[in-house]
Structure 1
Amino acid sequence: MYKTLSTITEKELVGLLKNKDKKGFELLYDNYSRVLYGIVLKIVHSESLAEDVLQDAFVKIWKNIDAYDASKGTLFTWLLNVCRNTAIDRLRSQSYKHTNKIQSLDNHVSMMDGQSQTQSAVDHIGLDKVVDTLKPEQKIIIDYIYFKGFTQAEVAEELNIPLGTVKTRVKSAINHLREFFK
C-alpha cells in the first residue's frame, strides 16, 4: 500500500503510527533506519551496540509516538532525538561501562571499521556538510553534545569555558542548523 515516503505526507505517516498501523511502522523503518543507525553508530562506536540501540529506539518510537508534537519540530527531528537519547542513555549505563572496560582488542578494530560506515551513512543525509558550516567554536560543542553524549556542563568543564558560553553557542548553532532543515 505505501512504498515510499513520497506517497504520503508526514502528517499521514504520524497518523498511521498513532493508529499502530504496522505498514506505517514498516514505512518509517524502511525510510529512516539507515540514517538513524549512522547517527547512533557515530555516538556509540560499535556496530552491534548501534544495532541494539536502534532497535530499542524504534520500540520507544512505536510505544511513545503519541508524545510526538508536530508543533515542536519535524518527525525526523523527534526520531533523531529519541535515537540520540537512547544511545546516550546506553553509553551512560553501568552495564555498558562494565562491558566497555573488558572489551577485547578485536572489538576495537571492529569499531574503527564501523566508523567509516558511519561516515558514509551520515554523509548520505549531508549532516556533516551542514555541521561544517558552523563556526569552529559551535561545531566542537555540537560534536561533544550530540555525537559524544556530553551534557552542557560536561562540555564547559572539558573545554574550560563558562557554562553560559556553552549554552549560547548551542543555541546559536541550533538556530543556524534549523535554517538548513526548513
Structure 2
Amino acid sequence: MTTLKTKYSEEELVTSLKKNSKQAFEYLYDNYSASIFGVICKVLKNEEKAEDVMQDVFLKIWKKIGDYDPSKGRLFTWMVNIARNASIDQLRKEKNVWFDDIDQAVGQVDKISNFQPQTNLIDLRGLLEKLKPERKVLVDLVYLQGYTQEEAAEILKIPLGTAKSRIRTALQDLKTFFNI
C-alpha cells in the first residue's frame, strides 16, 4: 500500500508531475485549483464557463508539464498563464465579445500575475485589517505570500481543516466587504 505524499517542495512537485504521478497531480489540483479558478473567473465573469475552462486548463497542465522550465519562473505563474490564455481563447470563441472587453479582462489578469504586494495592495491590506486576526494571517500567507493552505497550516501549527475553514470564512467576509 502506498501512502499519499501530503507536501511537496515546488521542485519535488514538478519532478513528480513530469513523471506523470497521479498523486502529485491530485496534490497540485487540491492546492492550486482555487487560485486558478479565480483567475479564470476574473476573465470570463461566468462560473459555469469558468468550470469548463478549468477542466481544460488542468488537462493542459498535465499534458504540457514537460514544457515547464523552472528557470523562467514559478510553477504557479506558468499555470496562471495557461489559465489566462485558455480563458482568452474562450472569450474569442464567443460571437458577441468585443476586443475591448478581452483587452480589459487581460489587463485585470496581468495585474494578478504581475502582482506587487508592497505598493499595490494598500486598500486590500485595509480590508484585511477588518478580518479577525486568525483569518487575516491565513489570507496573507496564502494569497499574498504564495504559500499553499497546507504550508500555512504548518507554519501556524494548526490543523489543515481549521486553516481551510478560516480561509473560506475570511473569503466570505471579504466578499461582503466588496458587496459581491
For the residues of structure 2 that align with 1:34 and 1:148, how far apart are their CA atoms?
15
Q: Indicate if the aligned counterparts of 2:61 and 2:79 stay in contact, CA closer than 8 A.
A: yes
Name the SS for the 2:60 alignment partner.
helix
Question: Greater RCO between the two (CA within 8 Å, min separation 6)?
Answer: 1
Ranges in structure 2 where 5+ consecutive residues have no aligned partner = 98-102, 119-143, 147-180
Alpha carbons of 1:181 and 1:145: their partners in 2 closer, same or farther (altered >3 Å)?
farther
Gaps of 5+ in 1: 101-141, 150-169
TM-score (norm 1): 0.54
Q: Residue 145 of structure 1 corresponds to which residue in structure 2?
A: 106
> Which structure 1 residue ranges, 4+ long, deviate > 2 Å from structure 2?
142-149, 176-182
Shift in Å, 1:42: 1.0
Please name the residue that 2:79 is paired with: 79
- Counterpart mapping for 1:91-130 below 5 A: 91-93=91-93, 96-97=94-95
Residue 8 of structure 1 aligns to a residue in which SS? coil
Using the alignment, how far apart are the partners of 1:17 and 1:181 within structure 2? 23
The aligned residue for residue 35 of structure 1 is: 35
* TM-score normalised by length of structure 2: 0.55
Partner of 2:154: none
Of the three residues 5, 8, 14, the one matched with 1:2 is 5
Verify the 8 A CA contact 1:13 1:24 in the aligned structure 2.
yes
The structural deviation recorded for 1:60 is 0.4
C-alpha distance in 1, partners of 2:27/2:109? 29
**Structure 2: which amino acid aligns with 1:17?**
L
Question: Contact conserved, 1:84 with 1:146, CA < 8 A, in 2?
Answer: no
Deviations 1:29-83 (A, max 9, x none): 0000011101110110111100011110100000000111100000000010000
More helix by share: 1
Give the corresponding residue for 1:13. Answer: 13
Matches within 5 A, 1:50-61: 50-61=50-61
Give the distance between the partners of 2:109 and 2:79, measured in 1 at CA.
18
Residue 49 of structure 1: aligned partner: 49
Partner AA of 1:22 in structure 2? K
Taking structure 1 as reference, are residues 43 and 21 closer, same or farther at Cα in structure 2, changes over 3 Å only?
same
Contact residue 84 and residue 109 of structure 2 kept, 8 A:
no
